[in-house]
Amino acid sequence: MEAKDLKWDALTEHLKLSRRDFVFSVLASGALSLAPRLAAAQAAAAPYKIGVLLPSTGTGANYMAHCIKGLPVAIAELNKRGGLLGKHPVQMVYRDTETKPDVGSREAKSLILNDKVNAIFGTYSSAVALAIQEIIHEHKVLHFAATSNSSKITQENYTPYTYQFCPDSNMQSGAVVVAVSRMAKKNNWKSYVSLGQDYEWGRDTHKGFTTGLAKVSPEIKEARQMWFKLGETDFTSYITAIMAAKPDFMFGAVAGKDAETFMQQAGQMGLFKRVPFPGGLIAVNDLKAQRKTLPRGIIGLARCPFFAHLKEPIMQAYIKRDRAAFGADGYPDDWACMYYDALGGLEQGAKKAGSIGTEAIVKALKGATIDTCRGKRAFRDCSNQLEVPSYVGEVWDSPDYPFPIYKPDTMVLVEAKEVWTPTCQEVEQLKKKRA
């Protein structure tokens, strides 16, 4: 003890400190040296919360089923790598929007204010997306849209916090225009009839198609347009009217459960044998759900069909993982694929920013090129719209899958750059002023 005290005395005298001051100094410096480690440990534990706003009831629920069950699997895989930046585990909070804008707004508020989410993934309906954009912009929360594809989301209602991973309605219509004009030349088509869902997406898609086709092939005329309400169950009168009009082909802006019902009834009534129907939305989930009834040879439109990108390593890994999780038939559909890309976009945005901060990710993703299931794709600088293609092809029975896919030699992949409308200058003028 005495020897120790002598050492203490020598040390404190040498440092010109009292024993008490010395002890405090050592403790303080120890605490200071530990602080960065403690902070790092705390940062490692800080989770990144994602709020998922998709419908599990109402219109669109059948389209979103694979996304809702697939996202947790993708997130678990991401968390195996440590999460965002390898240290922020991702947590997912799911809420049902019921495909209603008011419910979407309410749940967005709940996710942001109550669950303190850092980003929102969703929604299915464009009307819901437009409503929640007001909330996410006000609270400065990231928004990754990958199904709702009204062009207004990234143009008129633009906010720097929204990123679009799905080809928008203009791009999809443009893709159908490109495909139809090629077919029209080949088959000498002159007239068509339009059938659409009477809501924003249907109107927007129809407008994009008719305007685009009038520019490319002005000789082709629209003989008639028909609109039906969402949730229609009896298409007999529409099908009869289309057949009576005897058009060279028909254009359809029909999606979700309504598309399934229409296809079944039109197939049974022999519509597709008499009137070609190029460009109706036929996603992978439609190909799977209607594998027995879908007329072969019908020409469909898709947004992210896995079979178009089988050579992409990300797509290969994604298919393998989802089939392992959901069985042999568990091929991801277009919607799940786009949300998977959204998650990848978030991960790459955080990596590029070196931070999980919202503003840092916004800055990092501005005009960025990211790796996706659909290859390397860049965000359009003026609108945060990802430069993704649309797919048009003939439904065909493949020996490799238990459901039909698009016949490879008929598939037209229309790149975003072929159908970019409007120009970035026009987009800037469309953007509304936000207070």
Cβ burial, residue 4 (10 Å; 0-12/13-18/19+): exposed
Nearer to another protein, 169 or 285 (CB): 169
Question: Whose CA is closest to 426, among 158, 162, 210, 237?
Answer: 158
- Give the three-class secondary structure for 144: strand
Q: Rounded to the nearest whole angstrom, what is the least distance from the CB of residue 147 to another protein in the complex? A: 16
Task: Determine the Cα–Cα distance for residues 179 and 140; give it in Å rounded to an integer.
Answer: 39
The amino acid sitting at 104 is: G
Task: Determine the Cα–Cα distance for residues 393 and 284; give it in Å rounded to an integer.
Answer: 12
Nearer to another protein, 127 or 392 (CB): 127
Nearer to another protein, 219 or 234 (CB): 234
Nearer to another protein, 152 or 257 (CB): 152
Q: Rounded to the nearest whole angstrom, what is the least distance from the CB of residue 38 to another protein in the complex? A: 26
Task: Determine the Cα–Cα distance for residues 121 and 52; give it in Å rounded to an integer.
Answer: 5
Q: Rounded to the nearest whole angstrom, what is the least distance from the CB of residue 257 to another protein in the complex? A: 17
Nearer to another protein, 17 or 93 (CB): 93
Beta bridge partners of 96: 54
Q: Rounded to the nearest whole angstrom, what is the least distance from the CB of residue 150 to another protein in the complex? A: 7
Q: Rounded to the nearest whole angstrom, what is the least distance from the CB of residue 434 to another protein in the complex? A: 5
Q: Rounded to the nearest whole angstrom, what is the least distance from the CB of residue 321 to another protein in the complex? A: 25
Question: Whose CA is closest to 216, among 167, 175, 276?
Answer: 175
Nearer to another protein, 204 or 248 (CB): 204
Q: Which of 352-360's residues contact partners 24+ apart within 8 Å by CB, and which partners?
A: 354/85, 355/85, 356/46, 356/48, 356/84, 356/85, 356/88, 356/118, 358/118, 358/119, 358/140, 358/141, 358/142, 358/161, 359/140
Q: Outline where DSSP puts E strands in 110-261.
A: 119-122, 142-145, 162-164, 191-197, 221-228, 249-253
Q: Rounded to the nearest whole angstrom, what is the least distance from the CB of residue 382 to another protein in the complex? A: 18
**What residues contact 256, with CB distance under 8 A and at least 6 apart?**
59, 60, 62, 63
Residues forming the site for another protein (CB under 8 A): 56-57, 94-96, 100-102, 105-107, 109-110, 113-115, 126-127, 130-131, 133-135, 138, 150, 152, 157, 198-200, 203, 229, 432-435
The continuous run of DSSP H or E covering 414 comes out as: strand 412-414
Q: Rounded to the nearest whole angstrom, what is the least distance from the CB of residue 233 to another protein in the complex? A: 17
Nearer to another protein, 69 or 352 (CB): 69
Nearer to another protein, 230 or 416 (CB): 230
Q: Residue 378: how many CB atoms within 10 A of its CB? A: 14
Nearer to another protein, 126 or 164 (CB): 126
Q: Rounded to the nearest whole angstrom, what is the least distance from the CB of residue 113 to another protein in the complex? A: 4
